Structure 1
Amino acid sequence: MDKPTRLIEFESMLFTRHTIPFNARKWGAERELDRSAYVLLSRIQIDGPLSISQLSQAFGLDVSTLNRQTAAMLRAGVVERIPDPEGGVARKFSITTEGERRLDADRARSIRSLERVMADWTPDEVAQFAGFLNRFNRDIERLEGRPWPRP
């Protein structure tokens, strides 16, 4: 393995440790959602209502894991179960007004925290970093066969 790849591995490990959207206390902002709810709601917000099997395919997660996560989200009032808008048999999870509010609030906190971290970066450096992250994520998604829709 060459040195740049080793450095990327190490920095990736640290990046996941420091991930701002999920380490809010350290950045002075209490989160409204836990990590799994934040990610699931983000996907539902982009795709619209999704069934458990669609969520399972999208995330590569077990149905039992998703049942636990969506049950917690139902109790929190951030999703609701609705009939399939396209007339299918399976019920789907739709984001509630409260879920939208909490997701948007957490996303705004995350963006403010990122802006704080990159306050000394030039706009070009921020854009380059965003481009590299986008490419990196898309290449992972391509290899996994699970592309993530982007707004």
Structure 2
Amino acid sequence: MDKATSEVEYEQMLLSRHGLLTRRKGRRVDGVMERSAYVLLSRIRVQGPMSIGELSDAFDLDASTLQRQTSAAMRAGLVGRIPDPAGGMARKFRITDEGARLLDEEREGMIRSLGRVMTDWPKEDISAFAHYLRRFNTDLERIDGRPWPRP
């Protein structure tokens, strides 16, 4: 997997969470994971297990919205609930093996699609584009006060 294209994919996913791109309905549309599940799983993968409160703070969404999203992800077998590893009272959500597999599959498909779009781009241009997307996202995060952890 091309590192620069992988960076572009990740930054594009982060950009999409700001609502600048089209949203899809349903968990999978034509074999594509729903955007909210894709972003939810991506955040949990980078940060580790998270409670509803932590997810609410991270996404600036009401707990009820996160309850619906995590419930749908649980029904789909993408996440499971575990006791807080730090011993806290709140249960946390973690990615299941199936959720990780589907997230990897989705991300690889996105990277392939981006690769087709940028097939004639020099590697330097792809790296510069990833840099500018990351810069744009981190500036949005700074303004919003919600930094997104990166791998």
Give the TM-score band, short-chain normalised: 0.7 to 0.9
Q: List structure 1 segments (4+ residues) > 6 angstroms apart after TM superposition.
A: none
For residues 46 and 67 of structure 1, what CA distance do their matches in structure 2 show?
20
SS of 2:119 mapped into structure 1: coil
Distance (Å, rounded) in 2 between the aligned partners of 1:74 and 1:113: 28
> After the TM superposition, which residues 27-38 of structure 1 pair with which residues of structure 2 at under 5 Å, given as runs?
30-31=31-32, 33-38=33-38
SS, match of residue 16 in structure 1: coil
For 1:34 and 1:132, how far apart are their aligned partners in 2? 26
**Cα separation, 2, equivalents of 1:34 and 1:110:** 13
Cα drift, residue 49 of structure 1: 0.3
For residues 52-92 of structure 1, what are the alpha-carbon distances to aligned partners after superposition, in whole Å with 9 as ceiling and x for unaligned?
A: 00000000001000000000000000100000000000000
User: Does 2:21 correspond to 1:16?
Assistant: yes
Cα deviations across residues 123-144 of structure 1 (Å, max 9, x unaligned)?
Answer: 1110111000000000000000
SS of structure 1 residue aligned to 2:126: helix
Count of residues in correspondence between the two structures: 128
1:67 aligns with 2:72: no
| Structure with the larger helix share | 1
Does residue 96 of structure 2 align to residue 96 of structure 1? Answer: yes
**Greater RCO (CA < 8 Å, at least 6 residues apart):** 2
State the percentage of identical aligned residues. 59
Q: Distance in 1 between matches of 2:49 and 2:100?
A: 13
Q: Does 2:125 align with 1:125?
A: yes
Q: Is 1:85 the counterpart of 2:85 in the alignment?
A: yes
TM-score w.r.t. length of structure 2: 0.81
Aligned to 1:114: 114
TM-score relative to the length of structure 1: 0.81
Task: Could you tell me which runs of 5 or more consecutive residues in structure 2 were left unpaired when the two chains were aligned.
Answer: 1-15, 24-28
SS in 1 for 2:21: helix
Go from structure 1 to structure 2 and tell me whether the alpha carbon gap of 1:17 and 1:66 turns closer, same or farther (over 3 Å shift): closer
Residue 3 of structure 1 corresponds to: none
**Structural RMSD (CA):** 1.7
How far apart in 2 are the matches of 1:95 and 1:45? 7
User: Is 1:148 the counterpart of 2:148 in the alignment?
Assistant: yes
Higher Cα Rg, which structure:
1
C-alpha displacement at 1:148, in angstroms?
Answer: 0.2
Pairwise CA distance, 1:17:
4.3
Matched residue type, 1:39: V
